[in-house]
Amino acid sequence: MIIVDNVTKAYANQQEAVSNLSFEVPEGTILGFLGPNGAGKTTTMRMITGFMAPTRGQIKVAGYDTVTQSMQARQQIGYLPETPPLYNELTTRAYLDFIARLRGIKSKSERQQRIAEVAESCWISDILDKTPTKLSKGYRQRVGLAQALIHNPRVIILDEPTIGLDPRQIQETRKLIKGLGGKHTVILSTHILPEVQMTCDRVIIINQGKILAQDSPENLIRHNSGLKRITMKVKGELPGVSEFLQNFASVERFQHLKTESELHTLSVESGTDGIEAILARELIARDLDLYGLQTAESSLEDVFIELVTQEEELES
């Protein structure tokens, strides 16, 4: 549905915001664009929506080139920019009506019907007759989302869609976005990792204008380490245990994190199934008091930090 082919965007100061970016988004997929601030997420989205032209390379949306067939490409897209594009003088209803007209919905009854539909799915029915100056950030964001959906586009581009929302609204918005998958092709950018894990079918991790990794969230987590991190709190004689854990075959990495009033916090990384039970037995067998044992699956966050730091290390 979306093909980004070897795209580079250089700004006037010759700095490349995005360099040689290539990826494809199949129809019905929700793609998460993940990267630290200034990674090139917004630039890429602006090129896909046709707001900016790529310096080199080509982008196709639903088969239309975003530069040479810009109008046809734009017709396929609903776009929520970083800041919701609202007009202070227009009520939500007048605003959505304007957008619907702009998006080519000619009949008045059809526009009214679409406004009612998006108002319901974005929870803004109660503020249709208010102007944005009186709206909270959450409402403004949701009006922006409604604007992107009004013409039922095949492709939806959302730049940080959950920013400024409260936790409950974040959850509902994620649910809404997840519901868009299948029928629509969605690209969303974020620097909130759980968001990607929860809503997206595919992830692209981008840093300094380059793609570091792209896969499904599950695969990314699995391939990258596949290790669990187990944190233990114990009291007793440490040296023997440390030596055992360091040399234990199932343990990849051992760390002694801290000691507070004789309570030692140890951590190991391991890929072995049931390693928690084995560790518990071993510790107790060595006459240690076990105060706690906690497992943390490697998260997308670890993958992300690992990839981004690797990249930076390579550069230096």
**Distance separating alpha carbons of residues 29 and 278, to the nearest angstrom:** 41
**Which of these ranges, 24-32, 103-111, 179-187, 275-283, lies near other proteins under the rule CB under 8 A?**
103-111
106 binds other proteins (CB under 8 A): yes
Instruction: Give the burial class of 98: count Cβ atoms within 10 A of its Cβ; 0-12 exposed, 13-18 middle, 19 or more buried.
Output: middle
φ, ψ for residue 14 (rounded to 5)?
A: 70, -5
Which amino acid appears at position 232 of this protein? M
Q: How far is the CB of 68 from other proteins (least distance, A)?
A: 13
Q: How far is the CB of 183 from other proteins (least distance, A)?
A: 20
Query: Nearer to other proteins by C-beta: 98 or 244?
Result: 98
Give the chain's length. 316
98 binds other proteins (CB under 8 A): yes
Q: How far is the CB of 87 from other proteins (least distance, A)?
A: 6
Q: How far is the CB of 159 from other proteins (least distance, A)?
A: 10
Distance of CA 121 to the CA centre of its chain: 21
Other beta carbons within 10 angstroms of residue 4's beta carbon come to 24
Is the separation of the CB atoms in 173 and 162 below 8 Å?
Answer: yes
Q: How far is the CB of 39 from other proteins (least distance, A)?
A: 19
**If you ran DSSP here, which 8-state letter would residue 250 be given?**
T
Per-residue x/- track, 60-89, other proteins (CB under 8 A): -----------x--xx-x-x-xxx-xxxxx
Maximum CA extent, the chain: 80
Which one of 101, 183, 222, 253 is in contact with other proteins (CB under 8 A)?
101
Which one of 6, 53, 120, 312 is in contact with other proteins (CB under 8 A)?
53
**Distance separating alpha carbons of residues 8 and 128, to the nearest angstrom:** 41
Q: How far is the CB of 91 from other proteins (least distance, A)?
A: 9
Other beta carbons within 10 angstroms of residue 213's beta carbon come to 18
Query: Nearer to other proteins by C-beta: 122 or 203?
Result: 122
Query: Nearer to other proteins by C-beta: 104 or 239?
Result: 104
Which amino acid appears at position 289 of this protein? D
49 binds other proteins (CB under 8 A): yes
- In terms of DSSP bridges, do strands 210-215 and 202-207 run parallel, antiparallel, or are they unpaired? antiparallel
Which alpha helices (DSSP H) does 181-299 contain, by range? 193-199, 217-224, 239-247, 275-285
Other beta carbons within 10 angstroms of residue 231's beta carbon come to 15
Tell me which residues in 129-158 interact with other proteins (CB under 8 A): 147
104 binds other proteins (CB under 8 A): yes
Which one of 51, 123, 244, 248 is in contact with other proteins (CB under 8 A)?
51
The residues of the shown chain that bind other proteins, judged by CB under 8 A, are 11-12, 46, 49-53, 71, 74-75, 77, 79, 81-83, 85-90, 94, 98-99, 101-104, 106, 147
